[in-house]
Amino acid sequence: MLAKRIIPCLDVKDGRVVKGVQFVGLRDAGDPVEAARRYDEAGADEITFLDITASHEKRGTLLDMVRAAADQIFVPLTVGGGVGSERDIEALLDAGADKIAINTAAVREPELVERAAARWGAQAIVVAIDARRVGTDEPSPTMGAPPGEPGSAPKPPRWTVVTHGGRRETGLDVVAWSKRITELGAGEILLTSMDRDGTKAGYDLALTRAVADAVRVPVIASGGVGTLAHLYEGLVEGGADAALCASIFHDGTYSVAEAKAYLAGRGVPVRLGEPRRGGS
């Protein structure tokens, strides 16, 4: 049975980790390559770099970083952030990335995803979707309808796709967009709740479930993890295939091994570290 994946995500700007990574004995908390190597050793199932470097001139820094990381880690590496063309994709794959995450450019030009998947295979093309809730879980305030009448049925929540780090609304429905972009060739969906991102309040489980049920490719849940129980909820109740995490690991709150031991204890299939030889 396929194991659920735990994926530490490193946000990178100008070749440096945006939020320092706390590892015992780590010489430089801002070095993305060393952080990636440590996560590999710690049993991460994959590693993701999201580059938020604003200027195009500094993209060379990203390529150098990907090259150095790919030489030292032996798990899949996904790179995203500012990927806008086949040339960008090719450069990152040549540098050693295994998968490329496309976000804003997929909305601007869905055919880019189609062409990229045809050229490099669906498995190499991840579409990142930033979602913001526009509906509500609460019963709709239908005037005059007594409780129990059809008019008081809870209105299902809806989400809209946002781009440019949440600053721009696209008007696209997240579930419909997920279906469309996977039909065009996206091999995975990296789904971030912009409402929950950074809150440590847990994943938006209704969002995760809605997309996981709508598409036939793996869904990576992102945005809101603060506790190990949140991981369990996202993977089981939300139906995600993988959990992307940042601060709970970077802060040193939990280790990857602790997260996996917790999930295994609750019956979630995960890849545990290889047993050590010779005793406890």
Q: Which is nearer to other proteins, 94 or 149 (CB)?
A: 94
Provide the phi-psi class of 89: left if phi over 0, else alpha when psi is between -120 and 50, else beta.
alpha
Binding region for other proteins (CB under 8 A) out of 57-65, 93-101, 106-114, 156-164: 93-101
CA distance 232 to 128: 22
93 lies in the binding site for other proteins (CB under 8 A): yes
2 lies in the binding site for other proteins (CB under 8 A): yes
Q: Nearest to residue 132, comparing CAs of 182, 179, 176, 169?
A: 169
Active site residue 130: yes
Q: Nearest to residue 170, comparing CAs of 115, 216, 107?
A: 107
Q: Which is nearer to other proteins, 188 or 204 (CB)?
A: 188
Q: How far is the CB of 24 from other proteins (least distance, A)?
A: 20
Q: How far is the CB of 140 from other proteins (least distance, A)?
A: 32
Active site residue 137: no
Q: Please, which residues have CB within 8 angstroms of residue 1's CB and are 6 or more apart in sequence?
A: 269
22 lies in the binding site for other proteins (CB under 8 A): no
**Residue 271: what residue type?**
R
257 lies in the binding site for other proteins (CB under 8 A): no
State the sign of the Cα–Cα–Cα–Cα dihedral 145, 147, 152, 153.
negative
Task: Give the per-residue contact string, 101-130, with other proteins (x = CB under 8 A; - = no).
Answer: -------------------xxxxx------
Which of 40, 51, 130, 197 is catalytic? The answer is 130
267 lies in the binding site for other proteins (CB under 8 A): no
Among 27, 87, 167, 216, the residue binding other proteins under the rule CB under 8 A is 216
CA distance 193 to 222: 7
Q: How far is the CB of 124 from other proteins (least distance, A)?
A: 8
Tokens 């506790």 belong to residue: 227
| Contact (Cβ atoms closer than 8 angstroms) between residue 164 and residue 137 | no
Q: How far is the CB of 249 from other proteins (least distance, A)?
A: 17
Q: How far is the CB of 106 from other proteins (least distance, A)?
A: 18
274 lies in the binding site for other proteins (CB under 8 A): yes
Element (H, E) at 125: strand 125-133
Binding region for other proteins (CB under 8 A) out of 53-61, 162-170, 221-229, 270-278: 270-278
| Contact (Cβ atoms closer than 8 angstroms) between residue 172 and residue 129 | no
CA dist 54 → 14, 81, 83 (Å) = 8, 10, 12
45 lies in the binding site for other proteins (CB under 8 A): yes
Among 11, 16, 18, 98, the residue binding other proteins under the rule CB under 8 A is 98
What would the two tokens of residue 165 be?
């780090």
Helix, strand, or coil (residue 156): coil
Active site amino acids: 11, 130
Give residues in contact with other proteins (CB under 8 A).
1-3, 5, 40, 43, 45, 70-71, 74-76, 93-94, 96, 98, 120-124, 187-188, 216-218, 241-242, 271, 274-275
